[in-house]
Amino acid sequence: MTDKQQTQSQCDQASCSSCSQTCDQNKNQNQKPQDPALRELLESNTLADRLSRIRHKVLVLSGKGGVGKSTVAANLAVALALNGKRVGLLDVDIHGPNIPKLLGLEGQSLTTKNGALVPLTRGDGLKVMSIALLLENDDDALIWRGPMKMNVIKQFLQDVEWGDLDYLVVDSPPGTGDEPLSVIQLLENPDGAVIVTTPQQVALADVRKGINFCKQLKVPVIGVVENMSGFCCPHCQEISHIFQQGGGESMAQEMNVPFIGSIPIDPAVAQACDEGQPFIYHHSKTPTAQAMQKIVEPILALDDQQPQQHQNAPQQSQPSKQESKTMRVAIPVANGQLALHFGHCEHFAIVDVDPQSKSIAEPQLLKPPAHEPGVLPRWLAEQNVDLIIAGGMGQRAQMLFTEQNINVVTGAPAQDPKTLLQHYLNDTLQTGDNICDH
């Protein structure tokens, strides 16, 4: 019950003659139309308006539990956000909602705006909604029948302020029951489903049912993902197949649906999930994260009007200098010198320079916000930064800076900010390899 509902309930039960008239007036003003047909029409219009602002709707399904479906859904959504997309992640696993835990959002409170719930937004821009965010106790069990689940899923789509999204990723519970059926009926025309399985025959048998479920409801199958496909050694990165190999791919061929990738087991995945850290971002160089990134490609392909800057990695070449106005440069520093990785620095030196006169103002040291995907590009854009000179920076981070109209120079040496800027203005800045683990 919301605070507003609780206050109204307490007021209804009180015998306070001084406020009874006001309460009656409020009730009449807030009362929904009594005509069922009119009420249904208004609700339908609200839902249609919400959905019209979402370009692509993608479901993540599995035939049975325990195959890592929520982990795949969470990393898929984060990967889309890191590709510069506006993404929402809706967790409709009513009885086992894990998305807030996987993304480090436990214990955070939801707010409302204009009568609608506002989803939680991560530093990378990903919007998240889950029934777990509405429970007072994480251990509470929801003992609900189908109609109640249908209603809450409808509210998640109709009464949540999703705003404009490129993608809404829906994490559905295992099987072919009420929740996935309700979502498909409410979305009307989802773009498709990603179906997660493991190599064992018992999982593959249930996934066949999931594929047939999609076919019967005329939902395109974007592809099958075989999770836990082999074991990735944390020391040498070699993959050993402890289960049978290729079961998901052969099953997809039999069912005439695409197979979009195999994801090996990596012990770091479990640790990342427990710590609420997106694996695909924090371990991007591992075979497991690279396999996850591949399953994102057919999802991105849904966007026929994908901007060119999302299709190509940012160029490593040094950007041209502005010649007619002052520019603002940001340099990550630690112990007075350039920090080799921009995301783990003590401060940013923000410096105004005049490329024409080659004058350099006194650096201003600012402490950056907590490092999360997408935070620093937006923060530096708020500081009106035109250029960042860094040691190491991953390609996805460079994309995010490019989207904020911030040029990037990588591979700079560990020198003090003024020396770096003087070399940059004199075209004598020597840059080396862009060494980055993200």
- 176: Cβ contacts below 8 Å, ≥ 6 apart: 63, 209, 210, 213
List b or e across 226-248, with b for residues whose CB sees 16 or more CB atoms inside 10 angstroms. Answer: bbbbbbbeeeeeebeeebeeebb
As a whole number, the mean pLDDT across the chain is 78
pLDDT over 90 (residue 305): no
Contact predicate 300/167, CB 8 Å:
no
pLDDT over 80 (residue 218): yes
| Across 373-398, average pLDDT | 83
pLDDT over 50 (residue 309): no
Question: What are the residue boundaries of the structural domains of the chain, listed by start?
Answer: 46-309, 313-425
Would you state the pLDDT for residue 307? 42
**pLDDT band at residue 23 using 50, 70 and 90 as cut-offs:** very low
| Across 351-361, average pLDDT | 86
- 178: Cβ contacts below 8 Å, ≥ 6 apart: 146, 149, 150
Lowest mean pLDDT among 11-25, 73-87, 199-213, 358-372: 11-25
Please name the residue ranges forming H helices in 159-236: 178-187, 201-216
313-425 folds as: Nucleotidyltransferase; domain 5 (3.30.420)
Would you state the pLDDT for residue 232? 65
| Across 361-388, average pLDDT | 85
The first and second tokens of residue 311, run together, are 């299709």
- Which comes out higher in pLDDT, residue 133 or 312? 133
- 199: Cβ contacts below 8 Å, ≥ 6 apart: 226, 228, 229, 243, 244, 245, 246, 247, 248
Contact predicate 127/119, CB 8 Å:
yes
Report pLDDT digits (tens) over 148-199.
888 888 889 999 999 999 999 999 988 877 888 888 989 888 999 999 988 8
Give the three-state DSSP class for 344: helix
- Which comes out higher in pLDDT, residue 225 or 265? 225
Contact predicate 386/357, CB 8 Å:
no
- The dotted CATH code for 46-309 is 3.40.50.300
pLDDT over 60 (residue 324): no
On the CB side of 427, CA atoms within 13 Å amount to 4
pLDDT over 70 (residue 308): no
Q: What percent of the chain has pLDDT over 90?
A: 21
Report pLDDT digits (tens) over 381-391.
888 888 899 88
pLDDT over 70 (residue 245): no
Would you state the pLDDT for residue 83? 85
pLDDT over 50 (residue 5): no
